[in-house]
Amino acid sequence: MSDPSTHGRSAAQPQVGRSSSGDGDLVRRAAEGEVGAYEMLYRQHVGRVHALCLRMARDRSEAEELTQETFVRVWERLGSFRGESAFSTWLHRVTVNVVIAELRRRGRWRERFTAHEGEEVGVAEPAFSAGGDLDLERAIAALSPQARLVFVLHDVEGYQHNEIAELTGLAVGTSKAHLHRARLLLREELSR
Amino acid sequence: MKNILRWRRAKPPSVEERAAVDALVARARALAREAEPARDLWAGIRNRIELERVEAPRARAWRARVQVPVWGAAAAAALLLATSIGTGLWFSRPPSLDDPVAVRALADSLRDRDGMGQMRQDLLALLDERRAQLPPEVVAAIEKNLGEIDRAIAQIHLAFREHPDNAALRFLLAEAYRREADMLEQLEWWTSAREPEAHS
């Protein structure tokens, strides 16, 4: 199967929409406990973090909670950021980790409380609905959680399968299988 | 059948199929990768950061004093929860009642009240069973917090009788159950035989 992403961008160097050239100083000050510096980092990067959370969450409310959770965790871990990669790259990886961990935790709770037998635990409407390709957003939102996770990380965010495996704990082959199935389902849905 | 599957796997994609995948990936790559939240989330983040700054040293001191490392995390979290309830932070996030999707999701979370009740009973039984393993301060903090949440749930149910269709009440009830379930689930996790993970 053709895999166009292999010659596309890599998640190791994510494209951030806003300048992060001043991040170094802000990160240092925030790591020293300066909340004002951390607020500036939040303002610079919240759009990117929230976009990923929106695509992975069940609804906008959950996406907001995940975004908040990410920035709280990042604050707690700032001391472990060694500056070997761009702050935006590190932040994005922490976001993915937090989203996966939180959705797993909430999934267990939701399974016990709300999922009815045979019911797909997915979303009917995309949380991400601010303009853009709504047909595709809607089709992505209807994917199963794992297929959605792999598709978003690989085809939207540009991660490679080995990186996805590292982040999610899935085997590389499983990641590829999820991507293949997700693409198939999306093509079917979009061709209707 | 296996031969057919093997043949299908080995079969190279057609030109049309390859073009369709390329087109899909191009559409995916063109999706917006930034989206500002509908409301400013910073206040909630700052509250939690400030809380952590105050509580973390206190929890560390408590852990050193009782010298039971495994329960340090439990005590810290119990203290944190007690503080957050006490300061009203756990209801600080305003309900997104202008958002029909969010309201529907919250309403959905109330569908299985029997399931909620059963899970609560299971976990209360777990607390009783493992009470002896926990420092008394932790048991006291957990029971105090459970009591606070139960009182909140009872008050919300009373208000429901007069306003059965009130979306804000539905939100608060779902949030109360969620808080209770989260806390009890964490208790289950803490009392398992492993150390808490350093992350997430």
Residue-by-residue DSSP string for B149-170: HHHHHHHHHHHHHH-TT-HHHH
pLDDT of residue B199: 38
Asked whether the predicted pLDDT for residue B42 surpasses 70, the reply is yes
Which residues of chain B does A76 touch, with a Cβ-Cβ cutoff of 8 Å?
52
Question: Which of the pair, B99 or B179, is modelled with greater confidence?
Answer: B179
CB A167 within 8 A of CB A152: no
How distant is the alpha carbon of residue A79 from its chain centre? 22
Contact A59 B116 (CB under 8 A): no
DSSP for A126-172 reads -S--SSS-HHHHHHHHTS-HHHHHHHIIIIIT---HHHHHHHH---H
Which residues of chain B does A108 touch, with a Cβ-Cβ cutoff of 8 Å?
185
Q: Among residues A29, A159, A20, which one has the least CA distance to residue B28?
A: A159
DSSP three-state, residue B73: helix
B191, two tokens: 């009392």
- Cα of A4 to nearest chain B Cα, Å: 6
Which residues of chain A does B119 touch, with a Cβ-Cβ cutoff of 8 Å?
112-113
Q: Among residues A185, A27, A53, which one has the least CA distance to residue A120?
A: A185
Contact B49 A39 (CB under 8 A): no
CB half-sphere exposure, A13, CA atoms < 13 A:
3
Cβ neighbors of A36 (< 8 A, separation 6 or more) are none
* Substitution target from B8, B18, B29, B31 for chain A, most A beta carbons within 10 A: B31
Q: Is A155 on the interface with B (CB under 8 A)?
A: yes
Residue type, B84: S
pLDDT in tens, A121-175: 444 456 666 567 889 998 998 898 888 999 999 999 999 999 998 888 788 998 9
A125, two tokens: 């409407």
pLDDT of residue B84: 41
Angle between helices B69-86 and B167-190 (to 10 degrees): 170
A89, two tokens: 């790259």
Interface of A with B in 93-122 (CB under 8 A): 97-98, 101-102, 105, 108-110, 112-114, 116
Question: Which of the pair, A5 or A80, is modelled with greater confidence?
Answer: A80
pLDDT in tens, A71-129: 988 998 888 888 888 899 899 989 998 888 877 776 654 444 443 333 344 444 566 66
Give the Cβ contact number of residue A32 at 10 Å. Answer: 10
Angle CA(B41)–CA(B47)–CA(B49) in degrees, nearest 5? 100
pLDDT of residue B104: 47
Question: Which of the pair, A177 or B177, is modelled with greater confidence?
Answer: A177
pLDDT of residue B188: 61
CA–CA distance, B70 with B196 (Å, rounded to integer): 8
Q: Which residue of B has its CA nearest to A63?
A: B37
B113, two tokens: 């009240």
- Cα of A63 to nearest chain B Cα, Å: 9
Q: Is A189 on the interface with B (CB under 8 A)?
A: no
* Facing B28 at nearest CB: one of A33, A108, A156: A156
* Facing A60 at nearest CB: one of B29, B38, B45: B38
User: In Å, what is the CA distance from B43 to each residue of A55, A92, B52, B92, B171?
Assistant: 23, 21, 14, 10, 20
pLDDT in tens, A27-79: 999 998 899 999 999 999 999 999 999 998 878 888 898 999 899 889 988 88
Question: Which of the pair, A67 or B144, is modelled with greater confidence?
Answer: A67
Counting runs of H as helices and runs of E as strands, what totals does chain B give? 8, 0
pLDDT of residue B18: 87
Mean pLDDT over all residues of chain B? 62
B4, two tokens: 């057919």
CA–CA distance, A151 with A56 (Å, rounded to integer): 10
Contact B21 A156 (CB under 8 A): no
User: In Å, what is the CA distance from A126 to each residue of A57, A59, A67, A137, A156?
Assistant: 9, 7, 17, 6, 15
CA–CA distance, B152 with B146 (Å, rounded to integer): 10
Angle between helices A23-31 and A87-113 (to 10 degrees): 60
In the block, tokens 């539905």 appear at B170
Q: Is A42 on the interface with B (CB under 8 A)?
A: yes
A180, two tokens: 């293949």
pLDDT in tens, B59-101: 445 444 433 333 344 444 444 444 444 433 333 333 334 444 4
Q: Which residue of A has its CA nearest to B46?
A: A35
* Facing B119 at nearest CB: one of A67, A112, A131: A112
Least confident of A23-32, B8-17, B55-64: B55-64
A15, two tokens: 């494209």
